Amino acid sequence: MTQRPSLPAHLRPRNVGLVFIGGALGVLARELLMLTLPDRGSLPVAVFVANIVGAFLLGLLLESLARSGPESSSETGGRTAVRLLLGTGLLGGFTTYSALAQAIALLVQGGEAWLAVGYGLATIVLGAIASWCGMLLGALPKRSRG
């Protein structure tokens, strides 16, 4: 009896479902943020905050997972599930570089090219710094309770 080859990790229903559920929750969280944080003039503050906070949390999550040990080679382990649900799904849905691109395009169309450049650069640079800070926090030794 021949055994069917298993599906690649990115096609497994469980993995797709984890990303889908996390993504739906991330988009919901971003939408709630956008409803509570108003724009400042033509600058979409909520998009900026979502990208910076999301970058920090993604750095923290991935560094914490990396320090907790290797993922299973079968891509079905617990760390993989957490990474797919929270990293790819939730934080991927929460952060929104497509809305950043739209905001930049609207600023340029509105004659505010320098503001568009500054907004885009600030988001990218501060997002990288936030991600690095999250990684530093994730790398801190865990204190034992007791």
**pLDDT value of position 1:** 56
Instruction: For residue range 61-113, list pLDDT tens digits in order.
Output: 999 999 887 766 555 578 889 999 999 999 999 998 888 999 999 999 999 99
Give 141 or 25, the one with higher predicted confidence: 25
Tell whether the model's pLDDT for residue 31 goes beyond 80. Answer: yes
Confidence of residue 52 (pLDDT cuts 50, 70, 90): very high
Question: Which has the higher per-residue pLDDT, 29 or 70?
Answer: 29
pTM reported for the whole predicted model: 0.85
Q: Is the pLDDT of residue 49 over 60?
A: yes
Answer whether 52's CB lies under 8 Å from 130's CB: yes
Mean per-residue pLDDT for 3-16? 80
Closest CA to 29 of 79, 86, 78: 86
Position with higher pLDDT, 37 vs 11: 37
Closest CA to 26 of 87, 101, 71: 87
